Structure 1
Amino acid sequence: PPILLLDEATSALDTETERDIQDSLRLMGQGRTVITIAHRLSTIVDSDVIVVLEQGHIVEQGTHEVLLARDGRYAHMWQRQQAGDEDEVAA
C-alpha cells in the first residue's frame, strides 16, 4: 500500500525490541507515506515531519531538531521522556 499507518506500534516493547521493529518498519516504509501515532517520541525522531497535536489542534510541526530548538511542547515532552517520566507525559 502507498500509505502505512502505525498507531502506537511499539508502545508495549522494551527498548531493544523497539529498535529492531523500527529498523524493519523503516525498510517497509521506503517509497511510502508513513503516518505514525506515538507518545513514545523515540519512535518518531527520524520522521521527515513531526506534527504535535493538543486537543485536536496542531500546535507545532517540524523535524525533531527544529522542534527541540523551538523549546516548545515537543521539546518539553522530549526532555521529560529522556529523564524517565514517560508515563506522566503520555497521560
Structure 2
Amino acid sequence: MADLLFAAGALVLLICGAGLAALWRGEGDIDRMLAFQLLGSGAIAVLLLIAPAMSEPALLDAALLTALLAALAACAYRAALGGRTPPAPDAPERQP
C-alpha cells in the first residue's frame, strides 16, 4: 500500500512540474496566481499521500500549514496587484 501512495505522490509531483512550467512562462498575473495555487495544492496532496505511507503524523501538520500559507500567499499576490480588475464587457458604466 505504501508503494501505491508513493507512486501517487510522484504522479502529483509530475503534474506540479507542469504547473511550475506554466508559472515560469505565465503571460498574465491571473495565470501566475493560478499556477501558484496549483503548486500549493499539489504540495498539500503530496504531503497527505506520503504521511500514511511513512507513518509520520507530523506531515499532516505540515500539509495544514502549507494550506494556510498557500491561501495567504494568494491573498498577498492579489493585494500586490493593487486592486486592478478589468471591467466586464457588458457592465454598465457608473455615474459619479
Whether TM exceeds 0.5 here: the answer is: no
Q: TM tier, shorter chain?
A: under 0.3
Structure having greater relative contact order (Cα 8 Å, sep ≥ 6): 2
- The alignment's TM-score, normalised by the length of structure 1, stands at 0.27
| Higher share in helix | 2
| Higher share in strand | 1
